[in-house]
Amino acid sequence: GTAQIGVTGLAVMGRNLARNFARNGFTVAVHNRTAARTRELIEGFGTEGSFVPAESAEEFVAALERPRRLIIMVKAGDPTDAVIEEFAPLLEPGDVIIDGGNAHFADTRRRERELREAGIHFVGVGISGGEEGALHGPSIMPGGSRESYASLGPLLEKIAAKAPDGTPCTTHIGPDGAGHFVKMVHNGIEYADMQLIAEAYHLLREVAGYSPAKIAETFRGWNTGRLDSYLIEITAEVLAHTDAATGQPFVDIVADRAEQKGTGRWTVQIALDLGVPVSGIAEAVFARSLSGHAELRAASRDLPGPTPRPLGDEEAARFADQVEQALYASKIVSYTQGFHQIQAGSDAYDWGIDPGAVASIWRAGCIIRAAFLDRIRAAYDTQPELPSLLSDKQFAEEIGAAQDDWRAVVADTARQGVPAPGFAAALAYYDALRARRLPAALTQGQRDFFGAHTYRRTDRDGSFHTLWGGDRSEERTG
Distance from C-alpha of 292 to C-alpha of 282, rounded to nearest angstrom = 16
Q: Which helix (H) or strand (E) holds 428?
A: helix 421-434
Question: How many residues interact with ligand 6PG (rule CB under 6 A)?
Answer: 12
Our CA angle for 198, 309, 315, nearest 5°, is: 75
Our CA angle for 442, 443, 444, nearest 5°, is: 90
- Annotated catalytic residue: which of 59, 112, 132, 190? 190
* Residue 365 binds to ligand 6PG (criterion: CB under 6 A): no
Contact yes or no for 411/319 (Cβ under 8 A) = no
Contact yes or no for 256/287 (Cβ under 8 A) = no
Distance from C-alpha of 359 to C-alpha of 380, rounded to nearest angstrom = 9
* Residue 366 binds to ligand 6PG (criterion: CB under 6 A): yes
* Residue 101 binds to ligand 6PG (criterion: CB under 6 A): no
- The conformation of residue 477, written as its DSSP 8-state character, comes to -
Helices assigned H by DSSP within 241-370? 250-253, 263-274, 279-292, 294-300, 313-349, 355-361
User: Residues 410-449 vs ligand 6PG: string with x where CB under 6 A?
Assistant: ----------------------------------------
The distance of closest approach from Cβ of residue 368 to ligand 6PG in the complex, given in angstroms and rounded to an integer, is 8
Q: What are the Cα distances from residue 476, in Å, to 250, 456, 463, 466? A: 65, 10, 6, 9
What residues are paired with 170 via a beta bridge? Answer: 140
* Residue 260 binds to ligand 6PG (criterion: CB under 6 A): yes
* Residue 16 binds to ligand 6PG (criterion: CB under 6 A): no
Choice between 258 and 418, CB closer to ligand 6PG: 258
Closest of 195, 194, 128, 140 to residue 169, by C-alpha:
140
Choice between 182 and 215, CB closer to ligand 6PG: 182
Q: Which of the stretches 55-63, 127-135, 329-337, 357-365 binds ligand 6PG when contact is defined by CB under 6 A?
A: 127-135
Q: Which of the stretches 30-38, 128-136, 271-279, 426-434 binds ligand 6PG when contact is defined by CB under 6 A?
A: 128-136
* Residue 128 binds to ligand 6PG (criterion: CB under 6 A): yes
Choice between 212 and 365, CB closer to ligand 6PG: 365
The distance of closest approach from Cβ of residue 262 to ligand 6PG in the complex, given in angstroms and rounded to an integer, is 6
What lies within 8 Å, CB to CB, of 236 at 6+ separation is 216, 217, 219, 220, 223
Contact yes or no for 478/462 (Cβ under 8 A) = yes
Establish whether 183 is a catalytic residue: yes
Q: Which of the stretches 15-23, 66-74, 123-131, 229-237 binds ligand 6PG when contact is defined by CB under 6 A?
A: 123-131
The distance of closest approach from Cβ of residue 187 to ligand 6PG in the complex, given in angstroms and rounded to an integer, is 4
The distance of closest approach from Cβ of residue 258 to ligand 6PG in the complex, given in angstroms and rounded to an integer, is 8
Distance from C-alpha of 339 to C-alpha of 100, rounded to nearest angstrom = 22
Contact yes or no for 409/424 (Cβ under 8 A) = no
Q: Name the residue with the smallest CB distance to ligand 6PG.
A: 128
The distance of closest approach from Cβ of residue 41 to ligand 6PG in the complex, given in angstroms and rounded to an integer, is 21
Q: Which of the stretches 256-264, 354-362, 376-384, 425-433 binds ligand 6PG when contact is defined by CB under 6 A?
A: 256-264
* Residue 269 binds to ligand 6PG (criterion: CB under 6 A): no
Choice between 193 and 324, CB closer to ligand 6PG: 193
Reduced to 3 states (helix: H, G, I; strand: E, B; else coil), residue 140 is strand
Does a cis peptide bond (omega within 30 degrees of 0) precede residue 79?
no
Taking residue 368's Cβ as centre, other Cβ atoms within 10 Å add up to 25
Choice between 63 and 271, CB closer to ligand 6PG: 271
Establish whether 295 is a catalytic residue: no
The torsion angles phi and psi of 7, rounded to 5 degrees, stand at: -125, 125
Which one of 155, 192, 367, 376 is in contact with ligand 6PG (CB under 6 A)? 367
- Annotated catalytic residue: which of 183, 199, 283, 331? 183
The torsion angles phi and psi of 119, rounded to 5 degrees, stand at: 80, 10
The distance of closest approach from Cβ of residue 131 to ligand 6PG in the complex, given in angstroms and rounded to an integer, is 9
Reduced to 3 states (helix: H, G, I; strand: E, B; else coil), residue 7 is strand
Helices assigned H by DSSP within 383-392? none
Reduced to 3 states (helix: H, G, I; strand: E, B; else coil), residue 301 is coil
* Residue 264 binds to ligand 6PG (criterion: CB under 6 A): yes
* Residue 134 binds to ligand 6PG (criterion: CB under 6 A): no
Q: Which of the stretches 126-134, 273-281, 425-433, 450-458 binds ligand 6PG when contact is defined by CB under 6 A?
A: 126-134
First and final CA of the chain: distance in angstroms? 66
Which one of 8, 20, 102, 229 is in contact with ligand 6PG (CB under 6 A)? 102
Q: How many residues does the chain have?
A: 478
Reduced to 3 states (helix: H, G, I; strand: E, B; else coil), residue 452 is coil
* Residue 38 binds to ligand 6PG (criterion: CB under 6 A): no
* Residue 190 binds to ligand 6PG (criterion: CB under 6 A): yes
Which one of 53, 129, 177, 422 is in contact with ligand 6PG (CB under 6 A)? 129
Residues forming contacts to ligand 6PG in the complex (CB under 6 A) are: 102, 128-130, 187, 190, 260-261, 263-264, 366-367
Residue numbers annotated as active site? 183, 190
